[in-house]
């Protein structure tokens, strides 16, 4: 009796037009889901990178506030980034100095005071901090400097302090940190592709913006820095002069 009832129920269910999915229909649904994921993942990845860039700029703005407060409390004197890490004197103006030093676009690494070790002819520079400063500003007076909106103060960097020259060579490959003792090439420590062809930078007018990697050679790092040097369009650099990995980036 029970089997007959079950059979009648099945026949009634089948007669209503209800049936299970076929294998082909399931494969079609799965294909659509996979296609949607393929379309959405790049957008999610781009949004995540953009969020990291926004957080990075927010941290640099906080450093700008601390920098400004320090300068105001010391009669315009700039932070000494040569004899000590630039952020040491600013700790009193920050609630969480260690977190502020880490750019969200790179994994956290231990902060050290050493620029690295190597042979007598070159240094293999390790990570020292997520942000570095322009060592040329040490002991200068903020009020005496002009064109502050073009003078780098604090920025994405692979060392806590750098002193760049307009003749510094770009990295030969992405991640190249080998610098010659006699030449230095400190620009290699600044020219890091953290934010889609550029880095974030705090300027001496306390503004923050993204700077293109090739644009780094056009900024007023110090009074001796030629903003129309050999690695600028005004200085005659050609697209093919740049290392292969940098040729896709905007020229300046």
- Which letter does DSSP use for residue 136 in this model? G
- 92-96, 159-163, 247-251: the lowest-pLDDT one: 92-96
Between 18 and 241, where is the model more confident? 241
pTM for the whole thing?
0.78
In terms of pLDDT, which residue wins out, 86 or 235?
A: 235
With CA atoms as reference, report the closest residue to 54 among 202, 236, 159, 200: 200
Mean local confidence (pLDDT), 114-138: 59
Q: Report whether pLDDT(118) > 60.
A: no
Of all residues in the chain, the percent with pLDDT exceeding 90 is 52
pLDDT-based confidence at 126, cuts 50/70/90?
very low
Angle, vertex CA 20, rays to CA 14 and CA 22, nearest 5:
125
- In whole angstroms, what is the distance from residue 80 CA to residue 190 CA? 19
Q: What is the pLDDT of residue 130?
A: 83
Q: Are 67 and 94 in contact (CB under 8 A)?
A: no
The distance of Cα 178 from the centroid of its chain, to the nearest Å, equals 19
Identify the pLDDT of residue 86. Answer: 87
């Amino acid at each position: 009796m029970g089997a007959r009832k079950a059979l009648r129920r099945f026949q009634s269910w089948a007669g209503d037009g209800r049936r299970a999915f076929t294998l082909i229909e399931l494969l079609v649904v799965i294909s659509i889901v996979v296609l949607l994921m393929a379309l959405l993942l790049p957008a999610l990845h781009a949004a995540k990178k953009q969020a990291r860039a926004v957080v990075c700029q927010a941290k640099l703005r906080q450093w700008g506030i601390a920098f400004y407060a320090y300068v105001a409390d010391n009669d315009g004197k700039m932070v000494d980034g040569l004899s000590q890490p630039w952020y040491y004197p600013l700790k009193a103006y920050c609630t969480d100095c260690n977190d502020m030093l880490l750019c969200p676009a790179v994994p956290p690494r231990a902060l050290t005071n050493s620029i690295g070790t190597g042979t007598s002819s070159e240094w293999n520079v390790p990570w020292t901090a997520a942000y570095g400063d322009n060592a040329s500003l040490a002991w200068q007076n903020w009020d005496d400097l002009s064109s502050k909106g073009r003078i780098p103060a604090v920025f994405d960097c692979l060392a806590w302090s750098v002193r760049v020259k307009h003749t510094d060579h770009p990295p030969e490959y992405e991640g190249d940190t080998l610098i010659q003792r006699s030449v230095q090439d400190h620009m290699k420590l600044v020219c890091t592709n953290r934010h889609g062809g550029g880095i974030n930078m705090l300027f001496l007018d306390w503004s923050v913006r993204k700077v293109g990697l090739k644009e780094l050679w056009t900024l007023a790092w110090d009074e001796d820095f030629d903003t129309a040097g050999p690695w600028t369009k005004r200085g005659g650099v050609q697209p093919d002069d740049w290392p292969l990995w940098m040729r896709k980036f905007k020229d300046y």
